[in-house]
């Protein structure tokens, strides 16, 4: 007995790799993998060539048969073609963006062979992560099963019992092992005219045709990982595709499903009707319904009114009072009443309007008041790290303008702490306040080094200069396969805000290339001027500044300074935007062996919310995390220790020793981010795994410098070649003054 695994494919080569790798390791014996490629949905010829090359390789380890949809498109057509080519006793449906969990399918086959069943359906596990991450870190325990079965293997003879399990979540043929001869006898086909909901009528048809002789078995064991998509821009899942005809297509699938059910099957009818009502309510309740609402067109409303009119009253008792009111209004063809109730529920939940939550108030004020005021052409607004500091590229652009054109402009700085002294007497405002909204709407030039609020809608007359905050080592945004940060909508959010940037500042050609594909950003808008924050590293009075910084921090004269500036870990956080800090360095051991000559200056990433004061005060450890400008800390230090932070790209301008404390290199590279350069061969210093390695490197720092001298020079020429002390001048003269 064998199985034909049917996989439709249209886009997402990285998804398919995970899918096929999981089949390789599934311990199957007699099987075939039928891949149906929907070439009409590929972006270009190169993408088609790439997937063909991938399949050729996998054919060396899997019994793959691949076919092409030429004059048709869609998942339904692909599955129908796959079914027509299947040759094994059982068929099994997968999506190319999902993967098997361990040997779950093999166990399902064992159950099928021992019981002569029609269908074995397994338990899905929902995940946001690629297969490597999911299996290695056991993140599957974070997600509930989509189907909760009371015992490990349960026989289901009553069709209504089976249907109750399947209709509990989104109805799908995925993870179903079905006897092929039984399928052929049913004469069922997927509805190729239905892009989104062909599974509903197909599964309902199978249930309706089942008799007491057709055994369905449900497995409680996790057998299938259903993967959510974190990239709705490049690789949206079918459920994320924006389409105005979803309501119509669901209704078509519902009507087709009704046609399969015998009049005597009241239980199955009620389950299908309740499923339809849940779908309808989800679409009604999730958004505000105004004019030209595609969800509530007159045609759609009338069709659903007819559908609900035929439902038995007992279907509606499982919904709350307001939901019943909406359903009854639709049933009685009272569209205005249904809209009124749905909008009332939405407004109560979202508090839509001027007196609602912060975002809603911001949108209202911006739209109805501030955006109607004229742009002030000599106003320049600066924001660095969300208002956390007076630093980075924004600071040096501002100070250049202040020195050369101070009387011609009105400067606005966004600062959370108003006690921080900023030269030039600019207007100081706090982020996300009414003043913030006012100046955001009226300033001609907006100079930020990180993302602006997602709700901000830039005016056409304003100029948004995104200076960014570092040459990228870690993979960014659309180059990341997994998103481990607190916000799983990171990619979509980033895409929305970055479309409003007029210019993106780059420090080198390497960064320009990365920004283009990592941000999906227009190369014509990326300007390679160098980073203004690095101008200070070439200042004539750099030594004087270094002495001032040491004095300000209380570092004793004669002590050498080790700057430790690690990055944050995406998977270590309290909540959205608030990350933990775990110190990996053994401070006591370092103090004992290096304390006579050195002090340790800690500088955490700006995302981190933990305070490091408790580690300081012993005369060896100093807290530089609150110091406004890390560039000044570079000048004050003799050695830099980092890991995967971009600080070493800037620090290399000084040509001072850099050590990389990469104790979790494999996890960070393979699981959390991945890198753009080869850490082992390209960074200008050694990779150190243990505290002992780190301390010994510092004790023999002259030998380290000599060993890495040639690599350091190569690195400097590649990444620091544009920086010359005049980057701020180029930005101002070309983008603001020009």
Cβ atoms within 10 Å of 262's Cβ, excluding its own: 10
Fold classification of 363-534 (topology level): Rossmann fold (3.40.50)
Beta bridge partners of 35: 7, 66
Domain borders along the chain are 3-241, 262-350, 363-534, 537-719
Higher pLDDT, 408 or 133: 408
Nearest to 688 by CA among 639, 727, 732, 735: 639
Beta sheet of 560-564, edge-to-edge order: 621-623, 598-602, 560-564, 639-642, 658-661, 687-688
Which of 13-17, 42-46, 658-662 shows the lowest mean pLDDT across its residues?
A: 42-46
Tokens for 167?
């209709």
Kindly report the backbone phi and psi dihedral angles of residue 521, in degrees, each rounded to the nearest multiple of 5, phi listed first: -110, 145
Tokens for 626?
């609150």
Fold classification of 537-719 (topology level): Rossmann fold (3.40.50)
Name, in order, each residue with C-beta under 8 angstroms of 720's C-beta and a sequence gap of 6 or more.
Answer: 508, 534, 649, 652, 653
Which of 32-36, 575-579, 657-661 shows the lowest mean pLDDT across its residues?
A: 575-579
| pLDDT band at 496; cut points 50, 70, 90 | very high
Per-residue confidence (pLDDT) for residue 698, from 0 to 100: 97
d(CA 660, CA 714): 17
Angle (CA) 234-231-499 rounded to 5° is: 70
Question: What is the rounded average pLDDT of the residues 509-526?
Answer: 97
Cβ atoms within 10 Å of 320's Cβ, excluding its own: 8
Tokens for 496?
């929305």
**pLDDT per position as a tens digit, 456-492:** 889 999 999 999 999 999 889 999 888 876 577 889 9
DSSP letters, 570-597, are TT-EEETTEE-----S-HHHHHHHHTTT
Please check whether the two domains, 363-534 and 537-719, share a CATH topology. Answer: yes
Name, in order, each residue with C-beta under 8 angstroms of 376's C-beta and a sequence gap of 6 or more.
Answer: 410, 442, 443, 444
**pLDDT per position as a tens digit, 522-580:** 999 999 999 999 999 999 999 999 999 999 999 999 999 999 998 855 444 434 444 44
Nearest to 643 by CA among 571, 709, 569: 569
End-to-end CA distance of the chain: 74
Architecture label for domain 3-241: Alpha-Beta Complex (3.90)
């Amino acid at each position: 007995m064998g199985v034909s695994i049917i996989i439709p494919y249209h886009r997402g080569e990285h998804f398919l790799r995970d899918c096929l790798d999981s089949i390789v390791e599934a311990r199957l014996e007699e099987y075939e993998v039928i891949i149906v490629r929907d070439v009409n949905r590929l972006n270009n010829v190169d993408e088609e060539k790439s997937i063909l090359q991938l399949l050729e390789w996998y054919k060396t380890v899997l019994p793959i048969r691949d076919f092409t949809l030429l004059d048709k498109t869609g998942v339904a057509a692909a599955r129908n073609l796959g079914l027509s080519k299947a040759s094994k006793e059982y068929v099994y449906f997968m999506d190319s963006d999902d993967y098997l969990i361990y040997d779950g399918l093999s166990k399902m086959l064992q159950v099928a062979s021992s019981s002569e069943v029609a269908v074995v359906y397994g338990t899905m596990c929902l995940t946001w992560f690629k297969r490597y991450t999911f299996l290695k870190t056991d993140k599957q325990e974070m997600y509930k099963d989509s189907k909760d079965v009371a015992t490990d293997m349960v026989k289901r003879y009553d069709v209504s019992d089976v249907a109750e399990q399947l209709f509990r979540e989104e109805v799908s043929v995925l993870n179903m092992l079905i006897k092929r001869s039984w399928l052929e006898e049913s004469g069922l086909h997927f509805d190729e005219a239905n892009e989104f909901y062909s599974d509903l009528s197909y599964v309902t048809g199978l249930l309706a045709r089942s008799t007491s002789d057709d055994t369905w078995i449900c497995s409680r064991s996790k057998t299938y990982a259903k993967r959510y998509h974190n990239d709705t821009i490049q690789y949206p899942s079918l459920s994320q595709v924006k389409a105005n005809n979803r309501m119509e297509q669901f209704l078509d699938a519902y009507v087709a499903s009704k046609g399969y059910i015998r009049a005597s099957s009241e239980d199955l009818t009620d389950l299908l009707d309740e499923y339809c009502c849940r779908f309808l309510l989800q679409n009604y309740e999730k958004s505000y319904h105004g004019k030209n609402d595609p969800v509530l067109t007159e045609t759609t409303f009338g069709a659903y009114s007819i559908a609900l009119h035929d439902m038995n009253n007992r279907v509606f008792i499982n919904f709350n009072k307001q939901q019943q009111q909406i359903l009854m209004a639709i049933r009685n063809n009272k569209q205005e009443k249904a809209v009124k109730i749905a909008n009332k529920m939405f407004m109560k939940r979202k508090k839509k309007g001027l007196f609602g939550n912060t975002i809603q108030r911001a949108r209202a004020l911006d739209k109805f008041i501030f955006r109607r005021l004229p742009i002030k052409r000599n106003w320049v607004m600066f924001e660095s790290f969300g208002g956390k500091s007076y630093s980075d590229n924004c600071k040096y652009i501002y100070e250049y303008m202040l020195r050369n054109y101070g009387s011609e402009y009105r400067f606005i700085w966004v600062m959370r702490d108003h006690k921080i002294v900023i030269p030039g007497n600019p207007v100081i405002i706090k982020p996300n306040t009414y003043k913030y909204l006012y100046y955001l709407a009226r300033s001609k030039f907006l100079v930020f080094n990180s993302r602006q609020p997602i709700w901000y809608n830039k005016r056409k007359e304003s100029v948004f200069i995104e200076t960014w905050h570092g040459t990228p080592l870690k993979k960014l945004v659309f180059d990341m396969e997994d998103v481990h940060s607190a916000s799983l909508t990171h990619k979509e959010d980033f895409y929305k805000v970055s479309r409003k940037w007029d210019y993106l500042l780059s420090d080198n050609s390497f960064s320009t290339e990365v920004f283009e594909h990592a941000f999906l950003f227009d190369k014509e808008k990326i300007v390679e001027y160098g980073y203004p924050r690095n101008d200070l590293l070439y200042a004539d009075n750099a030594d004087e500044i270094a002495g001032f910084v040491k004095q300000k921090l209380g570092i004793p004269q004669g002590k050498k300074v080790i700057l430790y500036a690690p990055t944050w870990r995406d998977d270590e956080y309290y909540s959205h935007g608030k990350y933990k800090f775990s110190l990996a360095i053994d401070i006591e051991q370092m103090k004992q062996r290096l304390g006579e000559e050195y002090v340790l200056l800690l500088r955490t990433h700006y995302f981190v919310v933990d305070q490091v004061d408790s580690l300081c005060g012993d005369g060896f450890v100093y807290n530089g995390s609150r110091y406004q400008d890390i560039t000044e800390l570079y000048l004050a230090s003799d050695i830099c220790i980092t890991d995967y932070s971009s600080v070493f790209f800037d620090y290399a301008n000084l040509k001072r020793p850099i050590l990389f404390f990469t104790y979790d290199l494999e996890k960070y590279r393979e699981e959390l981010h991945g890198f753009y350069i080869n850490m082992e061969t390209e960074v200008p210093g050694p990779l150190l795994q243990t505290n002992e390695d780190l301390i010994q490197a510092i004790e023999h720092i002259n030998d380290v410098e000599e060993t890495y001298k040639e690599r350091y020079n190569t690195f400097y020429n590649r990444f620091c070649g544009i920086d010359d002390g005049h980057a701020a001048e180029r930005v101002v003269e070309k983008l603001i003054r020009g």
